[in-house]
Structure 1
Amino acid sequence: MAIFVYQSILLSLAVLLFIKLLLSRTKDNKNKKLPPSPPALPLIGHLHLFKKPLHQTLASISEKYGPAMFLKFGSRKVLVISSLSLAEQCFTTNDLAFANRVHLPSLKQATFDYNDIGTANYGPHWRNVRQIASTELLSAQRLHASSDVRVGEVRDMARGLFRSWNASAGSMGLSYFEKVDLRAKLFELSLNVLMTMIAGKRFYGDNIEDLEDTKRFREAVEDFFSLSGASNAEDFLPILKFLGMTKAEKKLNHLAELNKEMTQKLIDEHRKPGAHKKGTMIANMLELQKENPEKYNDRTIQIVVVSLLEAGTDTSSNTVEWAITLLLNNPDLLKKASAEIDAHVGTKRLVQESDMPNLPYLHCILNEVLRLYPGGPLLVPHESSENVSIGGYEIPQGTMLLVNAYHIHRDPSLWDEPTKFMPERFECSDNGEANKMIPFGMGRRRCPGEGLAIRKVGLILGTFIQCFDWQRIGDELIDTSEGSGLTLPKLLPLQAMYRPRQVMMDVLSTL
């Protein structure tokens, strides 16, 4: 009897939802100014078109239906933008109207009830946490002050690679190439840089006290990005929750508890007598907490820390992984980058952040990598807070906005040979190529960590190019298939062969 009642309730809910969707669809169809849309199915709308990676699927559909496309993810209205000019309309004239974020059910707990920097709606709370992050970690002054942290961690990674090679080379000397899993190494490095800046604590390397915390946090970051974005069907079909099909939400809720536990532990460690953790972001915020306990309460500190760690680890390590992949598939360009560093930095010391302005080709490489493989191929979803006009179309209030940066960066109307890795396209500063790029978003919700990302990625890539010779494991080109998730990982982790460059042996031997 209980099963019959349960089934009846589910059937009634499904019928009501079906009627609501039909009425909503009829009403929308009367509006002749909506963007074009593929045929939709009852209840699920266009969810049947979901194929991962979602950015590739949407790019393919946009080729047929145009740069502005109207979709239904279940009952949710979705505007997909795939042209630079329309993206600029969204984030200039209509920037305030699109300043809010989409609150997907599966992310509620993982984002502190939609209060982290990435998902908070535009308003006083968002301005507060963004201002704290910008002032305490991401401002030009803070970035300059924390340069030694990044340099130290990158050099530690170079030292570790050199020692590993040296231990294996034996009598083969410089003819020996060592194999390395670069995805793992780059993630470790990226996380160490941020953790040291934020909490004065490394998660990888020598003298790591809590290896279990390290393992758990890495899994948390990787799972967050793989499960985030707009590709979870249960976020758009509430009935799936009643059927017990919310695996993503359950996993994200577990990650939320882990994040809260670990960040509170970091805060408590700073409060211990004799902690001597001065100059870290947490230490600075705890000092400010004494003067303004409401603005800098523990929950706000947790929100800022988690926001920065999640946004700044996976994205940066992915970018360097793509960069080395593309350079290994184009060895002549790798030699060109190495020659530039030798000419402007030399071989008697390691490259520093202050050298970056003198390495224009390295910047061209970074720009080209971010063009082909932006850290967020679909910009973090926005939501319209009012009716707006985009490209002559009328977009209803409450519409989710997905901007396909991946498609824009490969638009043949904007780029010559758009799928080719060609850093030289950015060599002329007068051609405006960089202005066609939106890897960090646009408008008031543009990523505040852009400056840190460029510094960190440039230093890591520059050091790897300066210190080591690199080659593919075999003769075949490295697979550039793309994974899925909020960020843009390689489908297959990058493994490569390396050895110290002969001209850098003396420097590496003294690290």
Structure 2
Amino acid sequence: MDLFSIATIFLVLLSYYAFSYLSPKSRSRNRRPPEAGGAWPIIGHTHIMRNQSPDKLAHLTFAAMAETYGPIFSLRFGSRPGLVVSSRELAKEIFTTCDMVVSSRPFLKSAEIISYESAMIGFIKYGQYWRDVRKLIRVELLSMRRMHMQRHVLAAETAQSVRELYGLWGERKNASGSAPVEMIEWFGNLNLNTVLRLVVGKRYAISGDEVAEARHCRRVMKAFFELIGLPTIGDVVPFLRWLDIGGFEKKMKDTFHEMDALISKWLSEHRAAAADGKQDDFMDIMIGVLKNAKFGNEYDEDTVIKATCSNLISGSDTNAVMLVWLLTHLLNNPKVLTKVQQELDEKVGRERRLESSDIDNLVYLEAVVKECLRLFPAGPLGGIREFSEDCNVGGYEIEKGTILYVNVWQLQRDPEVWPEPTKFLPERFLGADNHNDFQWVPFGGGRRICPGANLALEMMKVVMAILLHAFDVSTPDDEPVDMTAALGVTLTKITPLNVMVSPRLPASLY
């Protein structure tokens, strides 16, 4: 490309930026939130969302900006306005007074490419189709009633994974009776099998011929979750979409084809077995429901089923992420870990297996789970929202089309609400109701609150209870666990979680 061509592209970009940002609507600054500094020409603040330096992740950068600009400030993503809020009062206003207005998702090229043309419930705009699919998911899979009915599935999968872990211990144990295990993969396999059983009635063994297929499935689902919602150059500067800088659109297309191949195979297997009339899993239920009803006019039956089921399976990676952070916090707070196991010994003992009915009696463990979600919410910026109409927030006028981020990470560390906010203190949740009134919102709020919140809480309690009842866990050489994180859609641990495990129960109970 010659110098003239480069200069021409630069002038076109500059003109586009000036027209978009300095338009009459943009120049009307009355009662607009303060705009944060640090915007780059053309792309605005988009670079913040792409920075993976551990000390410059988006939620940390936004928290630092709030020190200067206050708990509500504006951003620019190319020509699109953005808004960040980070206080309990503003979150309450957003999720109550403004809830209808912020219940839509912004249209992103990633959603168009990788989510069955935005048929996935997590990425579609607010409307009748979204309400119908969400109702089906909440009633038939993720309601508290269904969670209690399906608790045995989660307990059975965890018990099976614990037996497999016991087998690994037998193979690897050292002279002191403990064995090394990398827990991120263990949690990932357990989570995948649990969700696959609930959604498509399938599980993978962690040894033998199915290992490669399980890893392929996890890799595809993880890649999907990392790519979805990622702003591309086409989202920021639409007429430059053809450049596909970084090759993200190609990665999205490749990932979608892999994911669609998996889910299409499972759907074909379910249709072939549908003659017996059984409804053993969520995909079976969807097939039965869609015979007698149609959700909207945009999508055919197979698209609705594949989009919904693949969204549930891939989105469940968040559960594995939260389990990793939960065990990490326990290992870094050995006194808390000891208290959890003391409660298990008092309420369950070591002469029998832990049953699913024991979970509700583990009050301290539940407090530990909530404290982990306070300090490390899996989605520290919540789910990305879009204002579907002009709206007033905190006394400021917010224009239609503005992209919204709620900095949950900062909100849940407010020192006015949480004494010693950076310390891991589960006791703050014992006998207290201080996680209501939008002080504790790890799953978001309003109509668009994460539909998997019940499953996530249930899974964290059941898995950790069974694991810590069955095994003592520690770090190699009793060193603290590295907590370096990366932010995609979720806040993930970068380094492996290597632990030493040793059995706590009689061999006959494994």
Q: Does 1:89 align with 2:93?
A: yes
Question: Which residue is 1:42 aligned to?
Answer: 41
* Cα separation, 1, equivalents of 2:21 and 2:287: 53
CA distance in 2, matches of 1:266, 1:242: 34
1:33 to 17, 31, 34: 31
Q: Aligned runs of 1:144-163 on 2, under 5 Å?
A: 144-163=148-167
Query: Counterpart amino acid of 2:258?
Result: L
Q: Which residue number in structure 1 is paired with residue 142 of structure 2? A: 138
SS at match of 2:500: strand
CA shift for structure 1 position 369: 0.5
Deviations 1:94-121 (A, max 9, x none): 1011111111112311122222111111
- Give 1:308's aligned residue: 312
Measured at CA, do residues 492 and 361 of structure 1 come closer, stay the same or move farther in structure 2, by a change above 3 Å? same
Distance 1:100 1:78 in 2: 14
Instruction: Tell me if the contact between 2:72 and 2:85 (Cα under 8 Å) persists in the aligned partners.
Output: yes
Q: Alpha-carbon deviation of 1:505?
A: 2.0
Confirm or deny: 8 A CA contact 1:328 1:472 kept in the other structure. Answer: yes
1:33 partner letter: R
Q: Corresponding residue for 1:484? A: 487
What are the within-5 Å matches in structure 2 for residues 45-60 of structure 1? Answer: 45-50=44-49, 51-52=51-52, 53-60=57-64
Deviates more, 1:425-434 or 1:63-72: 425-434
Question: Which ranges in structure 2 are unaligned for 5 or more consecutive residues?
Answer: none
- 2: CA distance, partners of 1:30 / 1:435: 32
| CA distance, structure 2, for counterparts of residue 468 and residue 391 of structure 1 | 50
Render the CA deviation track for 1:4-25: whole Å, top value 9, x for unaligned. 997687456424313313423x
Give the 3-state SS of the residue equivalent to 2:459 in structure 1: helix
Kindly provide the amino acid, as one letter, of the partner of residue 150 in structure 2.
S
1:322-341 mapped onto 2 (5 Å cutoff): 322-341=325-344
Counterparts of 1:258-407 in structure 2 under 5 Å? 258-273=258-273, 278-292=279-293, 297-312=301-316, 314-407=317-410
In structure 2, distance between residues paired with 1:390 and 1:208: 55
TM-score, scaled relative to structure 2: 0.91
Measure how far apart 1:339 and its partner are: 0.6
The residue aligned with 2:197 is 196
Query: Which amino acid counterpart does residue 31 of structure 1 have in structure 2?
Result: R
**Closer/same/farther in 2, CA of residues 207 and 292 from structure 1, 3 Å limit:** farther
Q: 1:445 to 1:19 in 2, by over 3 A?
A: same
**Partner letter of residue 35 of structure 2?**
S
Judging changes above 3 Å, is the alpha-carbon distance between structure 1 residues 431 and 373 closer, same or farther for their aligned structure 2 residues? closer
Instruction: Give distance in 2, aligned partners of 1:88 and 1:470.
Output: 39
Moved more, 67-76 or 253-262: 253-262
**C-alpha distance in 2 between matches for 1:8 and 1:289:** 55
> Is the 8 Å Cα contact of residues 92 and 437 (structure 2) preserved in structure 1?
no
Aligned to 1:457: 460
SS in 2 for 1:77: strand
Shift of 1:234: 5.3
Partner residue of 1:470? 473
Contact 2:119 2:303 in 1 (8 A): no
Mapped partners of 2:287, 2:155: distance in 1 = 26
Count of matched residue positions in the alignment of Structure 1 and Structure 2: 500
Percent identity of paired positions between Structure 1 and Structure 2 = 34
Q: Which residue number corresponds to residue 449 of structure 2?
A: 446
- State the distance in 2 between where 1:228 and 1:169 align: 40
Contact kept? 1:95, 1:443, Cα under 8 Å? yes
Shift in Å, 1:342:
1.0
493 and 234 in structure 1: CA distance in 2 versus 1, 3 angstrom threshold: farther
Any idea what SS the aligned residue of 1:109 has? Answer: helix
Closer, same or farther: CA 389–453 of 1 in aligned 2, 3 Å: same
Shift in Å, 1:275: 8.6
Q: CA deviation at 1:493?
A: 2.2
| In the alignment, structure 1 residue 114 sits paired with structure 2 residue 115 | no
**Of the candidates 58, 63, 66, which is equivalent to residue 62 of structure 1?**
66
- Judging changes above 3 Å, is the alpha-carbon distance between structure 1 residues 28 and 288 closer, same or farther for their aligned structure 2 residues? closer
Distance across 2 between alignment mates of 1:189 and 1:469: 19
Evaluate the alpha carbon distance shift between residue 229 and residue 61 of structure 1 in structure 2; reply closer, same or farther with a 3 A threshold: farther
**Which sits farther off after the overlay, 60-69 or 365-374?**
60-69
What CA deviation, in whole Å up to 9, does each residue of 1:40-70 have, x standing for no partner? 4432223355533211111111121110010
Cα deviation, 1:414-460, whole Å, max 9, x if unaligned, reads: 21111111111111224456851111110011111111111111100
The amino acid across from 1:108 in the alignment is E
Distance in 2 separating the partners of 1:463 and 1:17: 58
Taking the aligned partners of 2:481 and 2:231, their CA distance within structure 1 comes to 27
Alpha-carbon distance in structure 1 between the residues aligned to 2:435 and 2:85:
22
Seen in structure 2, the aligned counterparts of structure 1 residues 240 and 203 have a Cα distance that, compared at 3 Å, is farther
Contact 2:95 2:446 in 1 (8 A): yes
Q: Secondary structure at the match of 1:179?
A: strand
Tell me, in whole angstroms, the C-alpha distance in 1 between the residues paired with 2:209 and 2:452. Answer: 27
On the 8 A contact 1:383/1:400 being kept in 2, the answer is: yes
Q: Give distance in 2, aligned partners of 1:390 and 1:246.
A: 36
Provide the rounded CA distance (Å) in 1 between the counterparts of 2:478 and 2:250: 43
3-state SS of paired residue (2:41): coil
Q: Structure 1 pair 204/250, CA: closer, same or farther in 2 (3 Å)?
A: farther
State how far apart, in whole Å, the 2-side matches of 1:347 and 1:498 are.
17
- The one-character-per-residue Cα deviations of 1:233-288 (angstroms, maximum 9, x if unpaired) are 65323354333415222212221222222111101111225897741111222233
CA RMSD of aligned residues (A): 2.5
Cα 1:228/1:282, change in 2 over 3 Å: closer
User: TM-score, normalized by length of structure 1?
Assistant: 0.91
Q: Whole-Å Cα distance in 2 between the matches of residues 81 and 434 of structure 1?
A: 16
